[in-house]
Structure 1
Amino acid sequence: MEGGGGTLSELYQRSKKLLIKTRDALERLERLEFSSASSSTSAGVDSPELSFAVKRDIAQIQSLCTDMDRLWRLIGAKSQRDLWKRKVEQVAEEADSLKESLDKYFLRNQRRTQEARERAELLGRANGESSHVLRIFDEEAQAMQSARNSSRMLEESYATGVAILAQYAGQRERLKSAQRKALDILNTVGVSNFVLRLIERRHRVDRWIKYVGMFFTIIILIAFWRWTR
């Protein structure tokens, strides 16, 4: 089965060779891209000749797929027709995958170029306003240093206040302890005085009882003495 560019088999072999060639070229483009990114270059690196060749080969593969798609439909045997259908579809899918990868490469390269342009514009503006930027940074640095000094003074004042309060708390506890001891002593003295007064009162009562008993004893003895006479 032949088409305008050869038989179906010849077109298929040509498309497979182009696939291998295109895949290798695309890998070289990506290696060039990532080596440029790892070296921290400021602008996107492109290889116009290589990327154009990859784009041209992909277009050629897709054109071959169009021809092969027309030819496999003319095959009479169903088994051969299905076989070639799968082969052509596989080549077409690989071509679409390569085209998608190339489109992503172009998009990344365009984005890097745009970022490089924006960085250049920013650097240009920064160079024109460097003194103003430095003055702003210096003022911010002074403000931050002042804030740090204030923060340190507040921390020191807080620590001093905490230490003073701790001393007051300790003194308060000692005063409470002394107060309790004094109250205990006063309570003890109060009980002792009460007991002493009770003892003294008991002594007075005993003394009066003794005197009364002596008086009645003398009277009884006098009365007994007179009665016995």
Structure 2
Amino acid sequence: MSLLISLGMTMEASGGTLSDLYQSSKRLLLKTRDGLERLERLEFSASSSNASIDSPERSFAIKRDIVQIQSLCVEMDRLWRSVAAKSQRDLWKRKVEQVVEEADSLKDSLDKYFLRNQRRVQEAQERAELLGRANGESSHILRIFDEEEQAMRSARNSSRMLEESLATGVGILGKYAEQRDRLKGAQRKALDVLNNLGLSNSVMRLIERRNRGDKWIKYTGMALTIIILIVFWRWTR
């Protein structure tokens, strides 16, 4: 359900103007950066006290926001290319590239968090196994870390589904862009054909007038030749 809601928000945001999409992406960047900082503070405090981190929902929400930002970047990258003024187009290009870089940086930080948390869970399991305790405390510790690992695995699977959905959305947007380019190309070809037809009609009219002139010259020449032959024939008799 959360995946459908995320996709719905992304498709709704993609219908705005370039400025609207940019403002939405900046708000999401602030929200994501704040959530990631809180997640890292929680990680530090838990590591200091040797406590477990029960935050798959937080990390999944951050991952979902990053995917939404990346989707907005795809739409903004398509829109800034259609800006008429070159100065404005260059300005929007730099803004979109900055948002893409910030989103990539946040994604890298979140991926590193996942790796650290996975390594921490693995190390805790190895320590519990080395102790070899058969009492209820050891079983309780192992059960806690097993549940946490399952939760993180579920979050990673959900993140992978979001990335696949983003890739599908990017493919759809790309096909829309290709269709739009093909329609523009067909329109240009139609205009070229019409222009060529207009030029061809003008050339044909000139050729027809030239042919008529050539015919008059030919007939006049033939008539003069016949008259000269008749006069010459009578003069020589």
What's the TM-score once normalised by structure 2's chain length? 0.50
Contact 2:46 2:53 in 1 (8 A): yes
Aligned pair 1:109/2:117, yes or no? yes
- Out of 17, 25, 33, the residue aligned to residue 35 of structure 2 is 25
Count of aligned residue pairs for this structure pair: 123
- Out of 39, 58, 68, the residue aligned to residue 60 of structure 1 is 68
Partner AA of 2:112 in structure 1: K
Question: Quick one: distance in 1 between partners of 2:31 and 2:41?
Answer: 15
Unaligned runs of 5+ residues in structure 2 are 1-12, 136-237
1:99-123 Cα offsets, whole Å, 9 max, x none, are 0000000000000000010011011
Question: Quick one: distance in 1 between partners of 2:48 and 2:98?
Answer: 35
1:198-217 Cα offsets, whole Å, 9 max, x none, are xxxxxxxxxxxxxxxxxxxx
Contact 1:33 1:46 in 2 (8 A): no
Runs (4+) off by over 4 Å:
none
Question: Quick one: distance in 1 between partners of 2:114 and 2:129?
Answer: 23
Partner AA of 1:37 in structure 2: S
1:45-93 Cα offsets, whole Å, 9 max, x none, are 1401110000000000000000000000000100000000000000000
Contact 1:46 1:109 in 2 (8 A): no
Question: Quick one: distance in 1 between partners of 2:64 and 2:134?
Answer: 43
1:150-177 Cα offsets, whole Å, 9 max, x none, are xxxxxxxxxxxxxxxxxxxxxxxxxxxx
Number of the residue aligned with 1:120: 128
Contact 1:11 1:64 in 2 (8 A): yes
Higher RCO (CA < 8 A, seq sep 6+): 2
Question: Quick one: distance in 1 between partners of 2:133 and 2:61?
Answer: 39
Contact 2:21 2:72 in 1 (8 A): yes
Contact 2:14 2:72 in 1 (8 A): no
**Residues 1:61 and 1:113: Cα distance change in structure 2 (over 3 Å):** same
Unaligned runs of 5+ residues in structure 1 are 128-229
Question: Quick one: distance in 2 between partners of 1:46 and 1:102?
Answer: 16
Matches within 5 A, 1:1-229: 4-41=14-51, 44-124=52-132
Question: Quick one: distance in 1 between partners of 2:54 and 2:130?
Answer: 23
1:126-165 Cα offsets, whole Å, 9 max, x none, are 98xxxxxxxxxxxxxxxxxxxxxxxxxxxxxxxxxxxxxx
Q: Cα distance, 1:40 vs. partner?
A: 2.8
Contact 1:73 1:81 in 2 (8 A): yes
Contact 1:16 1:91 in 2 (8 A): yes
**Residues 1:40 and 1:4: Cα distance change in structure 2 (over 3 Å):** closer
